[in-house]
Structure 1
Amino acid sequence: MKLGIVIYSNDPETVWNAFRFGDHSIKHHGDEVRVFLLGRGVEAESLDSAAFTVTEQMAQFVAAGGTILACGTCLKLRQAGGSEMCPVSTMNDLHRLVAECDKTLTF
């Protein structure tokens, strides 16, 4: 299955669980999973805490074959840029994710 995940939260537990689910879907079900970070979700790489190692979970997701895209406009509003793990993307990329995926989830 092609699974799209849109993350627009900056709550560490929510983001950590979204990436855990994506990683699980790839490793245990063979799904193709793409994540789009939108709004507050583009802050994902800065959400690590003692309880939730968000960037570690993101790296595991990418290592398993997942893809992460980050909204360029949302990054710009936060005076931030993309990264190797989360390249700058556009609304066209989000539309493509939603149109091509069998299921799309939001967190």
Structure 2
Amino acid sequence: MKIGIILETKEHEKAWNAIRFGVTALKLKHEVKLFLMGEAVEIESIVDETYDVMDQLNQFSEANGELLACGTCLISRKLDDTTSCPISTMVDCVELVTWADKTVTF
């Protein structure tokens, strides 16, 4: 199954659970794309011992999940794209939704 995940928050526990959901789906052999929108483009800056978002992001990447980030959201926060989070567009977000068999939003 193709699963699209849209993450719109940098709240530690919600971001951690969204990515953990993606990692679990990848381990179950699903294809997964994760689109970061709004404040979620800032998740690489989360430092939390209980909800280790960076560990989950690394697992997501290692399991070949595809990570996308809203370019407008990055620019408005004066953030640059990174190798783990390339600049994407709203067209990419729409394409994720139409590509996916199921889409979940956190």
Using structure 2 for the length normalisation, give the TM-score.
Answer: 0.97
Aligned counterpart, 1:80: 79
Deviation at 1:97, TM superposition (A): 0.2
What per-residue deviation string (whole Å, max 9, x for no partner) do you get for residues 46-90 of structure 1? Answer: 112121111111010110010100100000111111111111100
Q: How does 1:1-107 map to 2 (within 5 A)?
A: 1-27=1-27, 29-107=28-106
**CA–CA distance in structure 2, aligned partners of residues 93 and 38 of structure 1:** 11
- What is the DSSP-based 3-state SS (H/G/I as helix, E as strand, rest coil) of the residue aligned with 2:32? strand
Give unpaired runs (5+ residues) of structure 2.
none
Using structure 1 for the length normalisation, give the TM-score.
Answer: 0.96
Deviation at 1:30, TM superposition (A): 0.9
RMSD: 0.7
Q: Which moved more, 1:50-59 or 1:31-40?
A: 50-59
- What is the DSSP-based 3-state SS (H/G/I as helix, E as strand, rest coil) of the residue aligned with 1:5? strand
**CA–CA distance in structure 2, aligned partners of residues 85 and 25 of structure 1:** 19
**CA–CA distance in structure 2, aligned partners of residues 82 and 53 of structure 1:** 21
**CA–CA distance in structure 2, aligned partners of residues 65 and 25 of structure 1:** 11
Aligned length: 106
**CA–CA distance in structure 1, aligned partners of residues 46 and 89 of structure 2:** 22
Give unpaired runs (5+ residues) of structure 1.
none
